[in-house]
Structure 1
Amino acid sequence: MDTLIAISIIALAGSIHASFQLSVSMATALSGHALGRQLAAKRTLRLLFGFVAGALAMTLLCVSFASYAIGILAPHNSYLWIILTAGLMIVGLAVILFYYRKTDGTELWISRGFAHFLRKRTAKASLTAEAFSLGLTSVVSELVFTIVPIITAACAIIALPPAWQIASAILYTLIASLGLLIVTALIGSGHKLSHIQRWREQNKYFLQFSAGLGLIILAFYIYTNTISDMITRMGIL
C-alpha cells in the first residue's frame, strides 16, 4: 500500500471516530456534576483532564493492540480489507439508523441500565484517578461502533514502514479524540456548558449522519484504492 494512501486512511478513520459522542457526553456530564457540587474550577479541570488522559490512553492502547494483533495473525491477508469494507458499510448504516435514541436531548444508543451506571459513576467522581478510569470506560463502551475504524486504521498502520508506525498510531489517537479535546478546551476557556450542550442537541442528527456517511465513504475509498487493485492483480476482473 502506498504510504500516502495509508496515512489518508488513518486520518479519515480517526476523523470518523471523533464524530462519536459518548466520551464527549461523559466529559460534559463530569464537568456539570463537578460544578453542581461547587467544586473549585481548578479541581474541575483536573477531573476533566484526567478523563481526557484516560480516553487518549485507551484509544492509543486499542489501536496499538489491534495493529500488533493484525501484524502477528494476518499481516498480509488481503481478504481482511474486503471484510473491513463490508463492516464499514454495515456499521455506517447502523450509525445512521440507531446511534441516537428518538428522544429529546442527546441520549445515545446504549442501554438505559448501562447509561444509568455511567451517570452514577460520573456524578460520584471526585478524584483524578476516578475521572481517568471513566475516560478508559468511555472508549471501551463505544467499541461496538468504533472497533471497525480502529481495525481499519490498524491495517493501514502495519502497511507503513516501522519508523512511521508509532507516529501514525499517535496521529490516529489525536484525530480520534479531536471532538473531546475541543470540548475540553471550550470548557477550560470558560464557555458555558449549557451553550455546548445546546449546540450538541441542535446538531446531533448532523453528527450522526456525518459519522455514518463517513464510514460508508471510507469503505468506498478503501475499495477504490486497495481492493480494486488487489482484484486486478489476482486476475478476477
Structure 2
Amino acid sequence: MNTYTLESMLTVLLLGVAVAVVHMMFQLGVSVLTLLSGHSLGAHKAHLRLLHLNASYIIGVYTTIVLVTLGLLTLTNVIGLSDHVLWLLTTVVAAVVGCAVCLVYYRRGKGTVLWLPRSIAEYLSKRAKKTKHGVEAAALGGMTVIAELPFLIAPLLIVSLLLKTESQQYQLGALLAYAFLVVIPLLVVTTLIGAGHRLSTIQRWREDNKSFLQYSGGLGLIVIALYLTVFRIVGVSL
C-alpha cells in the first residue's frame, strides 16, 4: 500500500492538472462544436434550442471521456503487466504522440483544418449538419472523442495510470474532475455563443492561436513524458 504525504498528493494533483491542460489543447471537440453551432444558427434555430444542442454535445464528450478512461483503467488492471512496465509504455506513447502533434496535428495552409482522414471529417461534418435533437448531439460528442483517440490516448493513458497507482480511494471523483477540466474550452465556447459573440470571432481567435495550441499540446506531452521517465521509471525522487 502506498503511503501518501501532502507533498506527494500535491505532486499527483499538479501532474493531473498538467495532463488536463495538455488535453484542452486538442481542438477537434471545439471544431465540431463550432460546426454544430454554425449549422444551427444557419437553420435559424431558437437560441435556447441551440444552447440545448451544445450542452448535450458537451455531455456526450464528457461521458465518453469518462467511459474511455474507465476502460483503460480496467485494461491496466487486468492486462497483467507491472506498474513499471505500464509507465514505460505510457511514456513512449506520450512522447510519440507529442511529436506527432507538433508535426501533423493541423493540415498545412490557412485555417484550422485538422489531421483527420477526409472520410471521418466529412462524416462528422455531415452529422453536425443533421443533428436536431439532444440525443444526436450527445452521440456526436461521443463520436468526436473516439475520432480523436489517436491523440487523446496519450493523456487518457496517463490519467488511467495515475488513478490506478496513486488515487485508488478517490478514483471516481478524480476522474469526474479531470473530465470536467478538459471540457472547459467547450463550456467557454458555448458561453460565448450564448452571450451573443459571433462564431467568426471565435474561429478567428482559433486561427490566430493554432500554432500556440498545437505546440503547447505537443511539447507539453513531451515534457510530461520526460518527467515520467525521471520520476516514475528511473525512480528519482525529489
Question: Which bin holds the TM-score, normalised by the shorter protein?
Answer: over 0.9
Figure out how many residues of one structure are paired with residues of the other and give that number: 231
- Could you tell me which of 192, 195, 198 is aligned with 1:192? 198
- Could you tell me which of 37, 49, 52 is aligned with 2:55? 49
Quote the sequence identity (%).
Answer: 36
Give the distance between the partners of 1:114 and 1:148, measured in 2 at CA: 21
Structure 2 contact 57–137 (Cα < 8 Å) conserved: yes
Structure 1 contact 11–171 (Cα < 8 Å) conserved: no
Structure 1, unpaired ranges of 5+: 233-237
Match of residue 70 from structure 2: 64
Aligned pairs for 1:1-237 (under 5 A) are: 2-74=8-80, 76-229=82-235
Give the distance between the partners of 1:182 and 1:100, measured in 2 at CA: 22
Structure 1 residue matching 2:235: 3-state secondary structure: helix
Moved more, 193-202 or 157-166: 157-166
Task: Summarize the Cα distance change of 1:74–1:152 in structure 2 as closer, same or farther, 3 Å threshold.
Answer: farther
Structure 1 contact 99–108 (Cα < 8 Å) conserved: yes
Task: Summarize the Cα distance change of 1:85–1:162 in structure 2 as closer, same or farther, 3 Å threshold.
Answer: closer
Q: CA deviation at 1:114?
A: 1.6
Moved more, 38-47 or 82-91: 82-91
TM-score under structure 2 length normalisation: 0.92
Moved more, 58-67 or 68-77: 68-77
Letter in 2 for 1:92: G
TM-score under structure 1 length normalisation: 0.92
Structure 1 contact 6–156 (Cα < 8 Å) conserved: yes
Q: CA deviation at 1:161?
A: 4.2
Structure 2 contact 128–140 (Cα < 8 Å) conserved: yes
What is the CA deviation profile of residues 114-150 of structure 1, one whole-angstrom value per residue up to 9, with x for unaligned ones?
Answer: 2111111111111111111100001010000010110
